[in-house]
Amino acid sequence: MSLLDVRSLTVEYCGALGNRVAVDGMSFQIGKGEFIGLAGESGSGKSTVAKAVMRILQTPGFISGGEVYFEGVDILKMSSEELRELRWRDMAMVFQSALDSLNPVLSIRSQFQDMAQAKLGRPMTDSELVEVLDFVQLEPRLLDSYPHQLSGGMRQRVGIALALSLKPKLLILDEPTTALDVVVQRHILRGLIRLRKQLGFAVLFITHDLPVLLAMSDRVIVMKDGQVCDDLSPAELRHHPTHPYTRTLLDSMALLVADDSRTSGRGD
Amino acid sequence: MKTLVLDGLRKTFSVSSKTVVAVDTFSMELSQGEIVAIVGESGSGKSTVARMVLGLESPTAGQAFIRDEQGHRPCALRDVQMVFQDPFASLNPVHRVQTHLTRPMKKLRLNPPKGEALHRDVEALLRRVELSPSDEYIDRFPDSLSGGQRQRVAIARALAAQPTFLVADEPTSMLDVSIRRDVLRLFSRLRADNLGILLITHDLKSVEAIADRVFVLKEGLCVESGQTEQILTDPRHPYTQLLCNSVPDPEGAFLRDDPVTGDAPR
Amino acid sequence: MNALWANRKARVGLILVGSMLTMAIFGWCTLSAADASNTVGPILGPPNSDFWFGTTMEGKDVWAQTWYGAAPTIFLSICIGLGVTLLSVLFGVTAGFYGGRVDRALNVIINIFLLIPGLPLMIVLAALIQQGTSVISGPVAIALVLIFTGWPWGARVLRSQAMTLAQRPFIEAARLSGDGPFTIIFFHLLPNMASLLGTSIIGATTYAVGAQVGLEFLGFGDPGAVTWGTNLYWATQNQALLTGAWWTFLPTGLGIALFGFGLVLMSFALDEITNPSLAMRRVFRQRTQRTPDLDTVVMESQR
């Protein structure tokens, strides 16, 4: 039984001129401990899928069809209390901008305690806090800092630590490194690999950066206009893509890859 | 033959009795018909360099000027124009494409065109940035255009003043990947038109695609510079090496342990 | 304007405000001061076939008073609203756009005016102007006082908005296109603040109606003039509540209420139009039969 089983998920947004379909009957699965990459550009619906699965979709968005099974239970039919239990314990999410997910007026320690109080009913002990920060190789002295005092990369690592505090089975990352530089990105991705070895969680990694997904995923799903174009292993995707859009994405990547020999893009 | 000269540009400012050096004495030359890239992470000062050239920030020391057959003169808006990073925020939402293009024409050209000539010039500009047929775009508002189209309008606006040099500050970082290549190709074509382009970016891939020369900036200081091919295939400075090694490749080489940098946490 | 008409709230608001305006124009043109100020009927006569709205303690025609008195109140309120907004724009937008020293200097002025207690100042100034000059008539004096005391609030709001907008790249791009600061403010900045300016004008007018009528009600207007405020003043002077002469204040009061209500509706509607998420809640509920979240924010990506 797979960890996450999405069947014909349809998500719409209520607009002035009618409803817009953001996710159109999408189906995919994530097995235990699997790393699934979700590739798509703006408007593809990739972020919407993540929010729908986490059940944190905001008005004017709403789920209009399909089922989402987490460990065999349809989470679209869960009550608010059941969802609260599910979120963060079993499934957690890291957002694109830690600026969006970290409260600017709370110290890092308070962010953790805030979450712990809501989820565990008690504050975290100091040793728990140190352990969680150690996951992302941040020093304990940062606990008393505020988000604006940390660099973008550090903030994102705090976001990852927060998400992993309760050791969920599935971690969803929505463009976690898009706003960061390649050097910081590499550092964070290496940390993610290490954590997966340590804790064994499954990952849904959402980004437009195809090379990252090809390098790290067990499977890559390519999305466009709310639909799945391809759902293949990295090797198959690179060499035998079926959908023309996948080929377009691969082409834009192929031109600009550092290891390839010099391209003829110059002097057009 | 004109050259854009950056001579010892330096920008510092004081934050609560400490002096922060954003750009530490940067010099370079850009000729017509070439694309030079300034590469660095956020906070490296590369955007500040661009803004100093355009006069949007005043340098603490140093200057930017144009050198031609008559000698030296300071940069004017007729010489250098800028393309901004965010195609949505750099166009005025209440003005049509036409207005965006005609204003710099009227204000900055030596002999501003009028009437029919103005209309023809606008159409020519739109064709130049590959927004054809121009009739379809002239009367539209920015929010009805896609990101790529908006950025082309922004490029057209910069070209409307008929500058010799263009400074592009992260022109493709907010665009979808599938259209970045086309926009970069446009810059290539402009280079063939004898424009000099200063490309500010953190994306080594776009540097590789179109830049002739590269300057690598780290924390305000230029650590390495040279021909693109040489810098990317055989970087000398450890920071440049780190940068090159961190660019994602589909085989995952970028994730492997790097003996140069180890894996020191920040 | 099309957007305004399509919105139900705006439509009702526009109709109300429009009716009051028409009433004011009609009344001012067809009646004269004499009609409203002369004794023409019985003392405190209730509404009847001769005098549809009855008569006051002095035997004045309430109908005439209501229709004729509309014009000064309504037109002056609109003028005050425009005047207040003009000053708010002048101080607020300039401060927000320039920043730095200009902002600091203007901010001091704005804050000083903000701190001055409005009502006492209004009363003092009104009294002074009344006694000082007979050139400035009562209502105009009040208008000047209200403009003088009412502008700082709007200035604060406009300043913040101007500050935020001034940071956006398209303003810098305008500078690079050769535009000077005045051109940028009028051609680039203000058009992007249109909805805020609209709500400012409506809000200022609403404030003006209330304050103007209030001052006149308290007796600081010109008792000889005929305005909605003085109508209420005389109604109270003549103990309308005690004598049960409801017709001497009801028509005027209703007029004020309807005008104010119309303005408030227009303000809400403008809010809805510029912030689509507000209207979206209603549409969402109708279309999906679900309850929208409490914290509805339009989060659609800008791309």
Q: Chains touching chain C at 3 or more Cβ pairs under 8 angstroms?
A: A, B
pLDDT, average across residues A168-181: 89
- Using CB atoms, which residue from B185, B188, B255 is nearest to A193? B255
Between residues C219 and A31, the one the model is more confident about? A31
pTM of the full predicted structure? 0.84
Look at residue C294 in the predicted model and tell me its pLDDT.
56
Is the pLDDT at B34 greater than 90? The verdict is yes
Task: Sort residue A18 into left (φ over 0), alpha (ψ -120 to 50) or beta.
Answer: left
- Contact assignment for B157 to C179 by CB distance below 8 Å: no
What does the mean pLDDT of chain C come to?
Answer: 82
End-to-end CA distance of chain A: 53
Is the pLDDT at C269 greater than 90? The verdict is no
What count of other Cβ atoms lies within 10 Å of the Cβ of residue A137? 17
Q: Report chain A residues whose CB lies below 8 A from the CB of B188.
A: 265-268
The CA radius of gyration of chain A, in Å to the nearest whole number, is 19
Mean pLDDT is highest, among C141-150, C178-187, C238-247, for C178-187
Is the pLDDT at A266 greater than 60? The verdict is no
Place of tokens 């719409």: A12
- Of B6, B44, B4, B53, which Cα lies nearest the Cα of B25? B6
- Nearest-Cα residue of chain B relative to residue C191: B94
For chains A and B, CB pairs below 8 A equal: 118
Q: Which chain A residues in 246-265 lie under 8 Å from chain B, judged by CB atoms?
A: 248-249, 251-253, 255-259, 262-263, 265
Task: Sort residue C100 into left (φ over 0), alpha (ψ -120 to 50) or beta.
Answer: left
Residue type at C241 in one-letter notation: L
What are the backbone angles phi and psi of residue B213, rounded to the nearest 5°?
-130, 160
What count of other Cβ atoms lies within 10 Å of the Cβ of residue C258? 15
DSSP string of C169-217, one letter each residue: HHHHHHHHTT--HHHIIIIIIGGGGHHHHHHHHHHHHHHHHHHHHHHHH
pLDDT, average across residues A42-71: 89
Look at residue C282 in the predicted model and tell me its pLDDT.
74
Handedness of CA B21, B27, B32, B33 (dihedral sign): negative
Q: For B197-230, what is each residue's pLDDT tens digit?
A: 999 998 898 899 999 999 999 999 999 999 999 9
Look at residue C231 in the predicted model and tell me its pLDDT.
86
Q: What percent of chain C has pLDDT over 90?
A: 29
Q: Chains touching chain B at 3 or more Cβ pairs under 8 angstroms?
A: A, C
**What strand order describes the sheet that includes A61-70?**
A18-30, A4-15, A61-70, A73-74
**Cβ of residue C173 closer than 8 Å to a chain B Cβ:** yes
Between residues B10 and A183, the one the model is more confident about? B10
Look at residue A68 in the predicted model and tell me its pLDDT.
93
Let me know: does C209 contact C73? Beta carbons within 8 Å: yes
What does the mean pLDDT of chain B come to?
Answer: 90
Between residues C121 and A90, the one the model is more confident about? A90
What count of other Cβ atoms lies within 10 Å of the Cβ of residue B56? 14
What count of other Cβ atoms lies within 10 Å of the Cβ of residue C101? 8
Look at residue C187 in the predicted model and tell me its pLDDT.
93
In chain A the domains, ranked by start, together with CATH numbers, are: 34-55+83-252 (3.40.50.300)
Q: For A192-246, what is each residue's pLDDT tens digit?
A: 999 999 899 999 999 988 999 999 999 999 999 999 999 999 999 999 999 999 9
Is the pLDDT at C280 greater than 90? The verdict is no
Look at residue B176 in the predicted model and tell me its pLDDT.
86
**Cβ of residue A127 closer than 8 Å to a chain C Cβ:** no
Handedness of CA A114, A117, A123, A124 (dihedral sign): negative
Q: For C30-50, what is each residue's pLDDT tens digit?
A: 877 777 777 777 777 788 777
Residue type at A138 in one-letter notation: L
Distance CA C152, CA C85 (A): 9
* Confidence band, pLDDT 50/70/90 cuts, at residue B8: very high
Q: For C208-247, what is each residue's pLDDT tens digit?
A: 999 888 888 888 777 777 888 888 888 888 888 888 888 8
- Of A200, A160, A153, A207, which Cα lies nearest the Cα of A42? A207
Look at residue B222 in the predicted model and tell me its pLDDT.
94
What are the C-alpha distances in Å from A212 to residues A198, A252, B15, C72, C294? 21, 14, 38, 71, 37
- Contact assignment for A252 to B177 by CB distance below 8 Å: yes
Look at residue C2 in the predicted model and tell me its pLDDT.
56
Give Dmax over CA atoms of chain C in angstroms: 74
* Confidence band, pLDDT 50/70/90 cuts, at residue A182: confident
What are the backbone angles phi and psi of residue B136, rounded to the nearest 5°?
-70, -20
User: What six digits make up the tokens of C70?
Assistant: 């509309």
Look at residue C163 in the predicted model and tell me its pLDDT.
93
- Using CB atoms, which residue from C170, C176, C303 is nearest to B54? C176
Enter the ipTM: 0.87
User: What six digits make up the tokens of A265?
Assistant: 């893009």
Q: What percent of chain A has pLDDT over 90?
A: 42
- Using CB atoms, which residue from C276, C295, C303 is nearest to A42? C303
- Contact assignment for A42 to C288 by CB distance below 8 Å: no
Q: What percent of chain C has pLDDT over 70?
A: 89
What count of other Cβ atoms lies within 10 Å of the Cβ of residue A158? 26
Between residues B153 and A148, the one the model is more confident about? B153
Q: Report chain C residues whose CB lies below 8 A from the CB of A64.
A: 288
DSSP C61: B
Q: Which residues contact C281 (CB under 8 A, 6 or more apart)?
A: A59, C292, C296
**Cβ of residue A244 closer than 8 Å to a chain B Cβ:** no
Between residues A56 and C281, the one the model is more confident about? A56
Buried b (16+ CB within 10 A) or exposed e, C126-160: beebbeeeeeebbbebbbbbbbbbbbbbbbbbbbe
Look at residue C276 in the predicted model and tell me its pLDDT.
67
pLDDT, average across residues A65-74: 91
- Contact assignment for C178 to B84 by CB distance below 8 Å: no
Is the pLDDT at C21 greater than 80? The verdict is yes
* Confidence band, pLDDT 50/70/90 cuts, at residue A264: very low
Is the pLDDT at C287 greater than 50? The verdict is yes
Let me know: does A120 contact A177? Beta carbons within 8 Å: no
* Confidence band, pLDDT 50/70/90 cuts, at residue C259: very high
pLDDT, average across residues C97-126: 85
pLDDT, average across residues B42-58: 90
What are the C-alpha distances in Å from C252 to residues C136, C257, C275? 25, 9, 35
Distance CA C8, CA C16 (A): 12
Look at residue A265 in the predicted model and tell me its pLDDT.
38
* Confidence band, pLDDT 50/70/90 cuts, at residue C301: very low
Strand bridging mode B165-169 / A18-30: unpaired
Look at residue A257 in the predicted model and tell me its pLDDT.
40
In chain C the domains, ranked by start, together with CATH numbers, are: 2-288 (1.10.3720.10)
User: What six digits make up the tokens of A147?
Assistant: 């988000």
Look at residue A121 in the predicted model and tell me its pLDDT.
84
